[in-house]
Amino acid sequence: MTPFGEAVRRIRRERGITQKEMAKALNVSPAYLSALESGKRGKPGFDFLQRVAGYLNIIWDEADDLFRVAAISHPRVVVDTSGLPPDYTAFANRLAGEIRTLHPQTIRELSAVLANAAKPREKRP
């Protein structure tokens, strides 16, 4: 499941809406909506995201969050390491090969490392 799929499924269920009802309202097949929710389809386009936000009647902040998680929800990631040092390419390939074996806590720890690395240097502890 992708972050987008998880978010849409949660909101849809909170509102008591079936996949079939939502798919019909958005003019897509129930199979497409199911594939989005389960992570078998890549991130949706901007037009679809707007239709989802409108249909679910979510407020601006929630819509922003939904758009943000959609941006990081492609289940088949490509990491372009061309022009980077060999260690970067080796790391990307190793992560691709081992990601399914990593414990959820390890993923949280690696995510925290990346979040910290993205902060400006003067704010790091």
Q: Which domains are delineated in the chain?
A: 3-71 (1.10.260.40), 86-123 (no CATH)
Cα separation of 51 and 47, whole Å? 6
Q: End-to-end distance of the chain based on CA atoms, in angstroms?
A: 34
- What is the signed CA dihedral for 67, 37, 34, 20, rounded to 10 degrees? -70
**What phi, psi does 100 have (nearest 5°)?**
-70, -20
pLDDT confidence of residue 122? 55
42-95: per-residue pLDDT in tens?
788 899 999 999 999 988 888 899 999 898 888 788 899 999 999 999 999 999
Task: Confirm whether pTM is higher than 0.95.
Answer: no
